[in-house]
Amino acid sequence: MEINLNTIEIEQKQKAVLVCMQYSEMKKGEAATHLEELKSLVDTMGAETVETLIVPLKKRSPKFFVGTGKADEITETAKKLSAEIIIFDNDLSPGQQRNFEELSGKAVIDRHEVILDIFAGRATTREAVLQVGLARMEYSLPRLTRAWTHLSRQKGGSKGTRGEGETQLEVDRRIVMKKITRLKKELLKVRLHRNTLRKQRSSLGIPTGALVGYTNAGKSSLLNALTGADAFVEDKLFATLDPTTRKVTLPVGNKILLTDTVGFIRKLPHDLVDAFRSTLEETVLSDFLIHVLDLSHPEVEEQYRITMEVLDELGAGEKPMILVFNKIDLKTDTTDSLGIEIDNPDALYISTKTGEGLEKVFERVEELLNKDKQIISLLIPTNRYDLISMIHREGSVLEEDYQDTGSIIKARVPLEIYNRLKEYITNVS
């Protein structure tokens, strides 16, 4: 029995009822904001939201997550609207999902499973497919007895199709465990290959940067605008999963490598953070970060906080960072000043749609790369081509002229290289 790791395509949009908890400690409107983001995720997944419910909750129920009375109300709402799926914004335990499905006769999934579904549909490279496949297998393992688990849809049914029953449980468990072992082995090989590519890029001596930020903030659009690349762009959450690296030539001629990374999101499941850790390591290993924010989004400050938390978790929070507010063409005059704007007065304001402010990004990158560097003029003997090669590799050559006595070079170099070349310096700028 072969388990299909790919998302089952929904030929006709299935109807979904969305449920979000309102805890007493939550701010006013916070639950509604979470629900709106879940609605965007469900839309990206390919289902149709027919109702959204905010449920006040003081204490979680071990059986249904919500109380029995409220579980009955949610079930009746789903039946009345002919919804096939009930989706919780909160993580459900395997037992709670199973109990709610038995009560409602509907597929019951949580935000975690929605994101897994989206990732599975968006993964294109071998590494991303393996990463998502592993995350889905590990998520599904304790849920094999559910009637609507992805594993019971392996023959092409949609959500709501029953599996082969409890008698297959041990067989399914063995299959999943074997899949997990195989995926881990294959993923290890792919990650070793990625490390090799990173070392090759590093050996070129070209500075590297990573685009980071909340999903749908416009990172891929900025990559395209800066490089003339054609990275996939779509106005949906998680349009891009796989890192895309492009070479950028700055106005003065310096070259950098810029990588677009997977977007962050509120409540991003930790197993997916772990699964994409090798991809997200681009942020850790880069020389600098460009943090892209959607200035027009009402929750931009919260998105900034969430992204910074994930960066801190990855160990990249202290990296040199350029803060870029995108979509200024969508910002209204009535929008109040943001705290992050006040705390980051050097932030840049751009529009990847109109091109406004893009030249400032180039200028800021050059300023960052040239920080702590000095411009020097050198006379390098004809027999020291190793030094000439080092200058080209570690610095930025501004002028170069070959004469009988040697090479006259004007370059911008780091302090370490400056110290190694002192005896050849003819002038310092």
Q: How many of the other CB atoms lie within 10 Å of CB of 328?
A: 17
Q: Residue 6 has what pLDDT?
A: 45
Q: What is the CATH number of domain 15-168?
A: 3.40.50.11060
> What is the biggest distance separating any 2 CA atoms in the chain, rounded to whole angstroms?
92
Q: Residue 10 has what pLDDT?
A: 41
Q: What is the CATH number of domain 372-428?
A: 3.30.70.240
Contact of 78 with 104, CB cutoff 8 Å: yes
Alpha carbon 232 to chain centroid distance?
14
Q: Residue 243 has what pLDDT?
A: 65
Cα first-last separation, the chain: 71
Specify the CATH architecture of the domain 204-369: 3-Layer(aba) Sandwich (3.40)
Query: Among 119, 105, 111, which Cα is nearest to 161's?
Result: 105
Which segments of the chain have a pLDDT < 50?
1-10, 150-163, 165-166, 231-233, 334-335
Q: In this structure, what token pair is assigned to residue 69?
A: 């009375």
Helices 169-203 and 126-140 sit at what angle, rounded to 10 degrees? 150
Query: Among 109, 89, 22, 92, which Cα is nearest to 57's?
Result: 22
DSSP β-bridge partners for residue 409: 378, 400
Q: Residue 350 has what pLDDT?
A: 93
Q: Residue 226 has what pLDDT?
A: 86
Question: What residues does each domain of the chain span?
Answer: 15-168, 204-369, 372-428
Q: Residue 238 has what pLDDT?
A: 57
Q: Residue 240 has what pLDDT?
A: 54
Q: Residue 155 has what pLDDT?
A: 35
Q: Which amino acid is at 253?
A: G
Judge if 15-168 and 204-369 fold alike in CATH terms. Answer: yes
